[in-house]
Homo-oligomer: A and B are copies of this chain.
């Protein structure tokens, strides 16, 4: 029996988890000096002085194990009561996550009898129905594997949950899925589009610059979420105003006048211009209409041009997707990274 509780461990009047647990287990709450000192120290680091022990959240039910919180101020608790194991974590999602990984997962691994292996295949630019159509024969071939589809807007994931003794079937399933889905697969398990692109750039020893209009910095942001991205990512320009496209990216004013800021030509010139200005091997760009306004009949909201340029070629591709502003930006950024990924698969490595 296992109970996991999250939230309500803080120092404020609405945090009553510890009181409730003390009552439930008939234990006393008592002042816990180590917690108080730890919280006080963390608050002082953030420039806040509080010595009121109540506001430090330093009362703990007696005799429970206090689980150190590596991120926030409130520690967690662990105890067992009438044969049930209790884990109590803070509610702040990132703290809960870190602490579950540190305390709960090892416990579960220790006590769980059945071992299963989970493999995730991540695809983009194929709808769920098409993936199902392509994989149906493979799924039927391996009835002992539990295959689920998790569609999201920037990834259609195939999750295979297998008993550990089916490891060989699982490997064969993945091999056959690879054959069926080809380069639509951008990664496995923890891979993201930006981590895959990063690996390809690093392996091929190529440098990248990004010129963004409608994505407003999101492509650069995602690329730089990867530790060590400074090795291949030199920099980006968010050219929200056309003057920035012309003055910094060296897009010709005539190009914007003749074809518009959202056009194949502008996307190409943005990618090529920034690549030359920053002296990188590859440049990519986005220009489009994220909405909710700004659309026209010819260029509806959701239209995006993704530009690509390297030393040998330049091109731009058009996509239309329209959900809402933030989701449009996210999908546009994924389309840009995916265009780059597919080109990198073809690209031969060159030095920077």
Say yes or no: A149 contacts B12, CB within 8 Å.
yes
Q: Which of A10-54 contact B (CB under 8 A)?
A: 10-15, 39, 43, 45-46, 48, 50, 52
Check: A163 CB closer than 8 A to any chain B CB.
no
Q: Given contacts A10-B149, A14-B149, A147-B14, is CB(A224)–CB(B230) below 8 Å? A: no
Q: Which of A302-323 contact B (CB under 8 A)?
A: 320-321, 323
Minimal beta-carbon separation of A76 from chain B (angstroms) = 15
Say yes or no: B55 contacts A133, CB within 8 Å.
yes
Say yes or no: B225 contacts A238, CB within 8 Å.
no
Number of chain A residues whose Cβ lies closer than 8 Å to a Cβ of chain B = 80
Check: A236 CB closer than 8 A to any chain B CB.
yes
Q: Given contacts A55-B133, A216-B223, A219-B217, is CB(A241)–CB(B237) below 8 Å? A: no
Chain B residues, Cβ within 8 Å of A126: 48
Q: Which of A240-256 contact B (CB under 8 A)?
A: 240-241, 243-244, 247-248
Chain B residues, Cβ within 8 Å of A326: 225
Check: A57 CB closer than 8 A to any chain B CB.
yes
Say yes or no: B236 contacts A217, CB within 8 Å.
yes
Check: A127 CB closer than 8 A to any chain B CB.
yes
Check: A297 CB closer than 8 A to any chain B CB.
no
Q: Given contacts A43-B127, A234-B244, A236-B237, is CB(A216)–CB(B220) below 8 Å? A: yes
Selected from B52, B238, B291, the residue in CB contact (under 8 A) with A237 is: B238
Say yes or no: A230 contacts B241, CB within 8 Å.
yes
Check: A151 CB closer than 8 A to any chain B CB.
yes
Check: A170 CB closer than 8 A to any chain B CB.
no
Check: A139 CB closer than 8 A to any chain B CB.
yes
Residue of chain B at shortest CB distance from A57: B129
Minimal beta-carbon separation of A279 from chain B (angstroms) = 8
Chain B residues, Cβ within 8 Å of A77: none
For the complex, give the distance between the alpha carbons of A278 and B15 in Å.
Answer: 49
Interface residues of A (CB under 8 A from B): 10-15, 39, 43, 45-46, 48, 50, 52, 55-57, 71, 73, 92, 94, 126-133, 136, 139, 147-149, 151-153, 210, 212, 215-221, 223-225, 227-230, 233-241, 243-244, 247-248, 277-279, 290-293, 320-321, 323-327, 329
